[in-house]
Homo-oligomer: A and B are copies of this chain.
Amino acid sequence: MTELTLTTFDWVPEGPRGFVRDLRLRWALEEARLPYSIRTTPSRDRTFEHFEHQPFGQVPWLTDGTVSIFESGAMMLYVAERSEVLMPADPKGRGDVISWMFAALNSVEMASQPVSFLEIFSEVKVPPDYRKKHDAFLNERLEHMEAVLEGREWLTGKFSAADILMADVLRFVDEWNGLAPFPRCRSYVARATARPAFVKAYADQMAHFAAAD
**A interface list, Cβ under 8 A from B:** 51, 55-58, 66-74, 77-78, 91-92, 95, 98-99, 101-103, 105-107, 109-110, 113-114, 117, 121, 124-127, 129-130, 133-134, 137, 141, 144-145, 147-148
The quantity of this chain's copies bound in the complex is: 2
Contacting pair B55 A69 (CB below 8 A): no
Contacting pair A102 B105 (CB below 8 A): yes
Chain B residues whose C-beta falls within 8 Å of the C-beta of A124 in the assembled complex = 127, 129-130, 133
Secondary structure at the A interface, as helix, strand, loop or mixed, is: helix
Chain B residues whose C-beta falls within 8 Å of the C-beta of A102 in the assembled complex = 71-74, 105
Q: B58, B125, B134, B148: which contacts A127 (Cβ < 8 A)?
A: B125
Provide the bound-state CA to CA distance between A10 and B57, in Å. 42
Rounded to whole Å, the gap between the CB of A71 and the closest CB of chain B is 4
Provide the bound-state CA to CA distance between A144 and B54, in Å. 10
Evaluate whether A56 and B144 lie within 8 angstroms (CB atoms) in the complex, with A74-B101, A102-B74 already known.
Answer: yes
Contacting pair B137 A70 (CB below 8 A): no
Return the chain B residue nearest A61 by Cβ. Answer: B99
Contacting pair B55 A67 (CB below 8 A): no
Contacting pair A110 B107 (CB below 8 A): no
Chain B residues whose C-beta falls within 8 Å of the C-beta of A106 in the assembled complex = 71-73, 105-106, 109
Rounded to whole Å, the gap between the CB of A104 and the closest CB of chain B is 9
Chain B residues whose C-beta falls within 8 Å of the C-beta of A58 in the assembled complex = 107
- Contacts A56-B103, A67-B95 supplied; 4 other A-B pairs, CB < 8 Å: A56-B107, A113-B113, A121-B130, A126-B127
Contacting pair A144 B55 (CB below 8 A): yes
Contacting pair A98 B78 (CB below 8 A): yes
Provide the bound-state CA to CA distance between A163 and B114, in Å. 25
Provide the bound-state CA to CA distance between A147 and B68, in Å. 19
Rounded to whole Å, the gap between the CB of A109 and the closest CB of chain B is 7
Provide the bound-state CA to CA distance between A141 and B58, in Å. 11
Q: B55, B56, B70, B110: which contacts A113 (Cβ < 8 A)?
A: B110
